[in-house]
Chain A
Amino acid sequence: MTTCREIHDFLMTWLDGELEPAVNERFEHHIAACSCCNNYVDSYRKTVELGRTAFDPCGDAASESTDAAEVHPPLPDELVQAVLAARRKASPPGDGA
């Protein structure tokens, strides 16, 4: 018999479709009959989705953009200059010419 704890422990394996068929069937039986596990599965899925979107640049759902370069502020100029200077120092132009 499958306990709630086993369901919770192997939930990701189940969601990834990596359980043995027989175990898989027991899992689905348990979840269908247990409201606690049902809520757990649902809230686990929501948690993953919330994590996935937590760092999306803007809180405005209307401005969904896939082009990340457009939504992030440009690099600070001092940083750009520092990198360029460090690069020139690492490999001076005309080196080896």
Chain B
Amino acid sequence: MSPETEQEPDQVALLARLRAGEERAYADLMQLAGPRMLAVARRFLRADQDAEDAVQDAFLQAFKNLDRFEGNAKLTTWLHRITVNASLMKLRKQKRTHEVNLEDLLPRYGDDGHRDRLVPEWTESGADVVSVGETRAAVRAAIDRLPDSYRNVLLLRDIEQLDTAETAELMGLSINATKTRLHRARQALREILEPHFSKEVSA
């Protein structure tokens, strides 16, 4: 992966055309960055229509703020941030009805600080899955079971690869709360995945 500060020549040329207001350049930008933006929006928003709306919001915001784009990031990286933000805004407008309590997904301990049961060793690829595609689908389904406030932090940090400060800002959390939430989300995800990856034959 190239460093984010490195400008790609075709993106520099495209930016110049956009700033000149060339009509065709808008369509070119959508073709260049749009497919990935839609994939990002789909991770946060479950309905295709919502994801497309978020991408539309993101593009319109980007077009409006083109002169505020500083050349020190890649154009596509800048658009990625705008898309994540537009997706979170959209998500905030819809309340999920059946949110699980994270506590129910976290490990339990006895008074002596030991786990309530032994932690099994995990296999390399998952004992009961036959393909990489199936493994990934199982992990996506597991992530989807997390409460939104935890799922979003996990998506932002581990999948969208934003840093802690950026994630904290987008979520309106402190740095420490962001770290705690990421750790809890990973712990809960680990518990959900354990039956798939445990070396012991499931009891």
B-side interface residues, number (CB < 8 Å): 55
Q: How far is the CB of B157 from chain A (nearest CB, A)?
A: 9
Contact, CB under 8 Å: B114 / A3 = yes
How many residue pairs, one in A and one in B, have C-beta atoms under 8 Å apart? Answer: 142
Interface code B96-108, partner A: CB below 8 Å = 1, 0 otherwise?
0000000000010
Contact, CB under 8 Å: A86 / B60 = yes
A-side interface residues, number (CB < 8 Å): 48
Tell which of A40, A74, A79, A90 touches B64, judged by Cβ atoms closer than 8 Å: A90
Contact, CB under 8 Å: B113 / A4 = yes
Q: How far is the CB of A54 from chain B (nearest CB, A)?
A: 4
Contact, CB under 8 Å: A53 / B189 = no
A interface majority secondary structure: helix
Contact, CB under 8 Å: B159 / A47 = no
Contact, CB under 8 Å: A84 / B27 = yes
Contact, CB under 8 Å: B122 / A39 = yes
Known A40-B119, A51-B159; judge A75-B193 contact (CB<8 A): no
User: Within 8 Å of chain B (Cβ to Cβ): is A25?
Assistant: no
Interface code B125-169, partner A: CB below 8 Å = 1, 0 otherwise?
000000111111001100100000000001000110000000000
Q: How far is the CB of B114 from chain A (nearest CB, A)?
A: 5
Contact, CB under 8 Å: B107 / A8 = yes
Contact, CB under 8 Å: B52 / A36 = no
User: Within 8 Å of chain B (Cβ to Cβ): is A12?
Assistant: yes
A42–B123 Cα distance when bound, in Å, is: 10
Contact, CB under 8 Å: A44 / B60 = no
